[in-house]
Amino acid sequence: MNELAFTKMHGLGNDFVVLDTRKTPVDFDAVSARAISDRRLGIGCDQILIIEAADSDAEIYMRILNADGSEAEACGNGTRCVAALMMAETGNANALIETRAGLLRAESVDDGNFAVDMGPVNLE
């Protein structure tokens, strides 16, 4: 694997490696995700959050890879972390982020804290 710029973020006990691939696309697979997530031999994280260009009205699309390489639909803590990056980049107090679960709205609620509307609970 070549050099890769990343941001390490933490949100309420979860830790993330965040990759912004909007300018430099990266072909990321399950093997790469497991290698980066490994806490002994890699960077170590719960999930890898990949920022991509959105195909919708959202500012970005967020791809979420678990430490085992599987892809998740959404993650509240991860979305809050990426929203913080987006708001710092745009200067806005809110962000619209597309995920496999749909569009997630995030907002800055006070100094350094962010909230995400994860939508209604689905118990199925």
Q: What's the confidence (pLDDT) of residue 12?
A: 92
What is the fold, at CATH topology level, of the domain defined by 7-117? Diaminopimelate Epimerase; Chain A, domain 1 (3.10.310)
Token pair for 118: 């994860």
Amino acid at site 33: A
Which residue, chain included where needed, has tokens 């995920």? 99
Which residue, chain included where needed, has tokens 């990343």? 6
Helix (H) / strand (E) element for 32: namely helix 30-37
Q: What's the confidence (pLDDT) of residue 22?
A: 94
At residue 1 the predicted structure's pLDDT band, cuts being 50, 70 and 90, is low
Q: What's the confidence (pLDDT) of residue 2?
A: 66
Q: Are 22 and 52 in contact (CB under 8 A)?
A: yes
Burial degree of 14 (CB within 10 A; 0-12, 13-18, 19+): middle
Rounded Cα distance, 63 and 47, in Å:
10
Q: What is the pTM of this model?
A: 0.92
- What is the rounded average pLDDT of the residues 58-81? 97
- What is the rounded average pLDDT of the residues 83-92? 96
Amino acid at site 72: A
Percentage of the chain exceeding pLDDT 90? 82
Q: Torsions phi, psi of 18, nearest 5?
A: -110, 125
Higher pLDDT among residues 109 and 112, named by residue: 109
At residue 122 the predicted structure's pLDDT band, cuts being 50, 70 and 90, is confident
Q: Considering only CA atoms, which of 114, 34, 111, 45 is closest in space to residue 79?
A: 114
